[in-house]
Amino acid sequence: MAETNAVAQAPTKSGASSPATSSNVVIETRNLSKDYRDFWGRKKVSALKSLDIEVRQGEIFGLLGPNGSGKSTTIKLILGLLFPTSGRVLVFDKDATETSKNERIGYLPEESYLYKFLTTDETLDFYGRLFNLSGAERKRRVDHLVNLVGLQNARHRQLREYSKGMTRRVGLAQALINDPDLILLDEPTTGLDPIGTREMKDLILNLRDQGKTVLLCSHQLADVQDVCDRVAILHQGELKELGRVSELLKVQDVTEVHARGLSEAAKEEIAQVIRRHGGTVESIDNPTTTMEDLFLNIVRESDRRPGARRVSSTGSDAAGPGVKN
Amino acid sequence: MTLQPEDFWSFTEWLLRPKAFLESALLQGIVLVVLAIVLGLLVGYVISAVRYGPGEGFYAVARAVRDFLRLDLPGTSARRIWALARLAFKEAIRRRVLVVVGLFVVGLLFAGWYLDPRSSDPARLYISFVLTATNYLILMLALFISTFSLPADIKNRTIYTIVTKPVRASEIVLGRVIGFVGVGTLMLVPMGIASYFFVTRGLRHDHEVADIKDLGGGRFEGKTSYDQFHEHTFTMDSPETPGGAPLGITDMVRGHQHVVRQIDGKYYIDDPEGALRARVPSYGELVFTNREGVLQAAGIDVGNEKMPGGYGSAGVARLVGVTSGPRRLEHGYMEGGTLGSGIFTFSDVTKARYPNEGGVPMEMALRAYRSIKGDIVSGLNGSITLRNPDNKQIESTPSTFVVQEYEIVEESLRLEMEGTDGTQTRKLSLFDDLVTADGRLTVIIKCLDSEQYLGMSVSNVYLRPAESSFAWNLTKSYVSIWLQMVMIIAFGVMFSTFLSGSVAMVATFVCVLLGFAAEQVYDIRYYMDKGEAMGGGPVESMVRLLRQDAMTTELDVDSVANKVIKAVDSIAIYTLDAIATSLPNLPKMVGTAEYAASGFDILDRCWLAMQSPRLAM
């Protein structure tokens, strides 16, 4: 299955616990704090308290947390959209408030704040111009990105006619127009259907494979689990947990065995072996698939054979399609 | 239309003001730029000092300046500015602002119903209508598009996708301004073209020949039909060459006349001429003589002849407190039937400049002041004498004219005339005898009716070397509107960077109002400086209103209250004065419409002068 592959890949990709050297640190926050104040300068809320994180070259770093935990504030501080109350943010070893760092950054905002009166082509062309790209270069990249996000058929329509998912794709395309080294994604999967979500996740992994650094923040835990190498969990502006996803999630004293084609007798025998070694059998069961897998399978099947209605054969492996005409 | 002294300055004079450098436009421009920078730094420091403390605040400002010079300025890219300009342009277009042009055209269609064709000068009415309509429409539009766009971006957070690209704040602002100017231009051009056709077509009309009488000897006299609420009379002459068709011209009615021609026994009347003009005046210098014939700088003041307006570009002189009264043009009068006269000396009167066989065209817009009622219907009589400025013996015989008040008297200085060279009376040649070698000519104007007065200022009598085309003159008026628009857009975008849309609009609007009211503010300050009781500043005026005191009495309150009121007022007025001085002189700019409407060529030099500071902004 795709997800498990992704998680399994992660440790092998960027050496499990290589110490960060300054050369491969892309984002570094030092004692970063942000207070929001009202008009009179009185402190209203402390959105971020003494955050210290490092994001390394070529990893997917997730910022996790409930609403109002400081995720978006952190991203805005990294982008230089906000000034820190104290502490510093370094992006590519430069202060985050320097405009020149933006040359190497792609940013997908929380909602796609794009100009609704522009078409996809115009939008991408416009953002390309902001990066001072030449006409030929812009055309090449716009074509490439429109294909990448799958908007070939809608590229001459104004964004006001787009669905939320389509706007999101345009947003992603504009974030990639400058072929950035660092990509900041604020809630990348909100508003996307499961297929869109899957594609977004694959794209993020793909970007990482191209050696790019991705920082994403989300409260869709499944997304984070699927794609992130490392996560930081924030709550009320404080860093609560930081580490590799694979290590954070591993339940140390539980063993999982997946096997196919075992008889009831064989299962009983395995249970006995476990008991003999002093272990406790908690359950021996057929695994259930996720709703996401079920959904994706149905849609793929329907794409392949339009008009067919799929009825799952009860009792058998739900992932294996049984088709009835 | 009365011109002010500054209208006679050349562009260099205006820019440098050789004898009064404090009033020079150049200095004013430099001071304003420096002032803006200093003020910006100061405000920036105060804000960051409040936020980070005095020491840190200073470094923050210093860093901002350093980054601006080191990174932002060299990093500014034309392609980015252009992209942002195109965005602003597209935004406005896709929000259908061009509908305003449609509204304008519809407005024009209906305007035809309300502009009275019975007016004595329909051309003036039509032109001033289209120019005023365009001007206010465009200024309002500039106000709206420029102030709402950036705040909307900030509110929608679309600005996030812009500022996270390598874009400088200066590029965003500049891009907006250029984009909106593009939109405005796109609207102004069709409006201008529509106006041109509206005016030319609106004034075009036909007459038929209603009545014609053969006077014999190839002369005809006739009357046209009654169309567009008027009729003409005309005379026709057969040309001396046999077989040529008789040709004539009608009299001047409502600012125009028609050519009448006879072709194959039929009479045709051409389209109206002379309604749409662009006179190019050549002004002279004016001195007066009193009733004993003694030279004087000013004529008799018959009261209330001081035209309001005319502080003009007093420049930095105002800011540093060298206050002067209004530089106003006054009409001087001379008494009829005495030796009193107005003496104009024109320069550059040459054959090359005035090639017309009929003579040198001169126009006079004189005022009449009657100390006895007399015959109120007929005008006052005056006389014109030409004189050689170097040899005062050479003088023409006076020719008479009649002044109809509020009408321009058109005269032609003939090339040959009766006169005296001091020793004998003979035929004088205008260019050989009366005009000096360096092209100067003196024209003496006298009033002939005793106990009546004729009044004039430098701008009232002028020679007319050329006529410019009406279309080009209208274009110049439109360029003037365009420049006002650029300015308002610049102000609007500036305010919208830190204010919300509606507040930015009000702020820009207040600046425009202050620009229009600048002269009033100058007046109040002038009276304050002079210590003259003239109503005082805002607080004093309010007190006077409530107490129902007259404007010119001393303010009758106890001395402490008086001091407080005066102090508050002077702070308010000096601040307003400083702001108004740094704002462009809008009434002056709007005034260019008056030129076109009165059929004067907009003077290139003063046009240029008005516009330069705006371009620099």
B56 and B102 together in one domain: no
Interchain contact, B71 vs A100, CB within 8 Å? yes
Q: SS3 of B2, please?
A: coil
Domain boundary among A216, A249, A282: A249
Looking at the domain assignment, is residue B305 inside a domain?
Answer: yes
Enclosing domain of residue A205: 2-249
Instruction: Say what the pLDDT of residue B181 is.
Output: 93
A236 and A309 together in one domain: no
d(CA A38, CA A36): 7
Q: SS3 of B267, please?
A: strand
B319 membership: H or E segment, kind and range = helix B316-319
d(CA A293, CA A2): 9
> Which of B50, B52, B165, B171 best tests the A interface by mutation, with the highest count of A CBs <10 A?
B165
Instruction: Say what the pLDDT of residue B506 is.
Output: 92
Q: Which residues neighbour B504 within 8 Å (Cβ) at sequence distance 6 or greater?
A: B147, B148, B151, B492, B495, B496
Helices (H), strands (E): how many in chain A?
Answer: 10, 13
d(CA A51, CA A89): 10
Looking at the domain assignment, is residue A182 inside a domain?
Answer: yes
Instruction: Say what the pLDDT of residue B386 is.
Output: 92
Q: SS3 of B305, please?
A: coil
Strands B461-468 and B360-364 come out as antiparallel
B67 and A CB contact within 8 Å:
yes
> Of B103, B105, B97, B127, nearest to B194 (Cα)?
B105
Distance set, CA B414 to CA A48, B77, B348, B360, B386 (Å): 91, 63, 17, 7, 10
B197 and B256 together in one domain: no
Whether B417 and B427 have beta carbons less than 8 Å apart is answered as: yes
Which residues of chain B are within 8 Å of residue A103 when distances are taken between CB atoms? 166
The backbone region for B466, taken as left when phi is positive above 0, alpha when psi lies in -120 to 50, beta otherwise, is: beta
d(CA B107, CA B275): 23
How many domains are there within chain A? 2
Beta strands in B132-171 (DSSP E): none
Helices (H), strands (E): how many in chain B?
Answer: 18, 22
Q: SS3 of A59, please?
A: coil
d(CA B364, CA B343): 13
Which residues of chain A are within 8 Å of residue B157 when distances are taken between CB atoms? 109, 111, 113
A210 and A314 together in one domain: no
Whether B60 and B48 have beta carbons less than 8 Å apart is answered as: yes
B380 and B334 together in one domain: yes
**How large is the angle between the packed helices A120-130 and B78-94, nearest 10 degrees?**
150
A186 and A311 together in one domain: no
Name the residue type at position A51: L
Smallest CA–CA distance, residue B516 to chain A, in Å, is 34
d(CA B206, CA B225): 9
B461 and B474 together in one domain: no
Q: SS3 of A110, please?
A: coil
Q: SS3 of B398, please?
A: coil
Domain boundary among B75, B107, B132: B75
Which residues of chain A are within 8 Å of residue B90 when distances are taken between CB atoms? 117-118, 122
Interchain contact, A99 vs B162, CB within 8 Å? no
A126 and A240 together in one domain: yes
Which residues of chain A are within 8 Å of residue B96 when distances are taken between CB atoms? none
Distance set, CA A172 to CA A85, A110, B117, B167, B429 (Å): 30, 11, 63, 19, 86
A138 and A76 together in one domain: yes
Domain boundary among A249, A274, A306: A249
Which residues of chain B are within 8 Å of residue A157 when distances are taken between CB atoms? none
A81 and B CB contact within 8 Å:
yes
CATH at A80: 3.40.50.300
d(CA B222, CA B192): 39
B160 and B308 together in one domain: no
Distance set, CA B600 to CA B59, B400, B406 (Å): 57, 26, 16
Show the low-confidence residues of chain B (pLDDT under 70). 1-11, 14, 240-244, 304-329, 584-617
**Which of A41, A109, A132 is nearest residue B161 as measured by Cβ atoms?**
A109
d(CA A221, CA A209): 22
Q: Which residue of A has its CA nearest to B164?
A: A102
How far is C-alpha B102 from the chain's CA centre? Answer: 28
Q: SS3 of A29, please?
A: strand
CA count, 13 A, side-chain hemisphere, A179: 10
Looking at the domain assignment, is residue A286 inside a domain?
Answer: no
Enclosing domain of residue B178: 76-202+469-616
On whether ipTM exceeds 0.95, the answer is no
DSSP of B491-554: HHHHHHTTS-HHHHHHHHHHHHHHHHTHHHHHHHHHHHHHT--SS-SHHHHHHHHHHT--TTSP
Smallest CA–CA distance, residue B156 to chain A, in Å, is 7
Whether B499 and B525 have beta carbons less than 8 Å apart is answered as: no
Looking at the domain assignment, is residue A174 inside a domain?
Answer: yes
> Of B449, B421, B473, nearest to B597 (Cα)?
B473
Looking at the domain assignment, is residue A283 inside a domain?
Answer: no
> What residues are paired with A217 via a beta bridge?
A63, A186
Tokens of B480: 């003037």
Strands A54-56 and B425-429 come out as unpaired
How many domains are there within chain B? 4
Q: SS3 of A234, please?
A: strand
Smallest CA–CA distance, residue B50 to chain A, in Å, is 9
Interchain contact, B80 vs A174, CB within 8 Å? no
Looking at the domain assignment, is residue B583 inside a domain?
Answer: yes
d(CA B202, CA B427): 47
Q: Any idea what DSSP says for residue B449? A: S
Beta strands in B323-421 (DSSP E): 332-335, 341-346, 360-364, 367-370, 380-387, 395-396, 399-403, 409-413, 416-420
B195 membership: H or E segment, kind and range = helix B169-203
Looking at the domain assignment, is residue A257 inside a domain?
Answer: no
B88 and B54 together in one domain: no
d(CA B590, CA B480): 8
B228 and B324 together in one domain: no
A126 and B CB contact within 8 Å:
yes
Interchain contact, A100 vs B158, CB within 8 Å? no
- Least confident span in A82-86, A233-237, B113-117, B140-144: B113-117
B40 and B96 together in one domain: no
pLDDT digits (tens, 9 = 90+) for B417-430: 888 888 888 888 88
Q: Any idea what DSSP says for residue B600? A: B
Instruction: Say what the pLDDT of residue B617 is.
Output: 37
Looking at the domain assignment, is residue A71 inside a domain?
Answer: yes
> What residues are paired with B332 via a beta bridge?
B456
B157 and A CB contact within 8 Å:
yes
A60 membership: H or E segment, kind and range = strand A60-64
Instruction: Say what the pLDDT of residue A159 is.
Output: 87
Name the residue type at position A227: V
> Of A275, A269, A274, nearest to A256 (Cα)?
A274
Distance set, CA B405 to CA B19, B188, B336, B337, B598 (Å): 37, 37, 16, 19, 16
d(CA B430, CA B415): 5
B485 and B548 together in one domain: yes
Strands in A60-64's sheet, in edge-to-edge order, are A105-108, A182-186, A213-218, A60-64, A230-235, A238-244
CA count, 13 A, side-chain hemisphere, B156: 16
Interchain contact, A132 vs B87, CB within 8 Å? no
Q: Which residue of A has its CA nearest to B171?
A: A130
A305 and A157 together in one domain: no
Domain boundary among B467, B502, B521: B467
Please list, residue by residue across A37-73, b when 16 or more beta carbons sit within 10 angstroms of its beta carbon and e when fewer do.
Answer: eeeeeeeeeebbbebebbbbbbbbbbbbbeeebbbbb
**Which of A109, A118, A126 is nearest residue B160 as measured by Cβ atoms?**
A109
CATH at B449: 2.60.120
B169 and B88 together in one domain: yes
Instruction: Say what the pLDDT of residue B161 is.
Output: 86
Interchain contact, B158 vs A98, CB within 8 Å? no
**Which of B94, B160, B165 is nearest residue A127 as measured by Cβ atoms?**
B165
Name the CA radius of gyration of chain B, rounded: 30
Looking at the domain assignment, is residue A255 inside a domain?
Answer: no
Q: Which residues neighbour A277 within 8 Å (Cβ) at sequence distance 6 or greater?
A: none
A315 and A203 together in one domain: no
Looking at the domain assignment, is residue B367 inside a domain?
Answer: yes
d(CA B608, CA B11): 7
B484 and B597 together in one domain: yes
Question: What residues 194-213 of chain B have any CB closer than 8 A to a CB of chain A?
Answer: none
> Of B364, B361, B358, B431, nearest to B394 (Cα)?
B431
**Model-level pTM?**
0.78
Name the CA radius of gyration of chain A, rounded: 23
Tokens of B330: 């006054």
Residues written for chain B: 617
d(CA B442, CA B291): 19
A161 and A227 together in one domain: yes
Domain boundary among A192, A225, A249: A249
**Which of B82, B90, B160 is nearest residue A117 as measured by Cβ atoms?**
B90
Distance set, CA A142 to CA A108, B84, B313 (Å): 16, 18, 53
On the 0-12 / 13-18 / 19+ scale of CB atoms within 10 A, B152 is: middle
Looking at the domain assignment, is residue B604 inside a domain?
Answer: yes
Other CB atoms within a 10 A radius of the CB of residue B436 amount to 17
B101 and B163 together in one domain: yes
d(CA B362, CA B460): 10
Domain boundary among B24, B50, B75: B75
Looking at the domain assignment, is residue A228 inside a domain?
Answer: yes
Interchain contact, A98 vs B160, CB within 8 Å? no
Q: Which residue of B has its CA nearest to A37?
A: B51
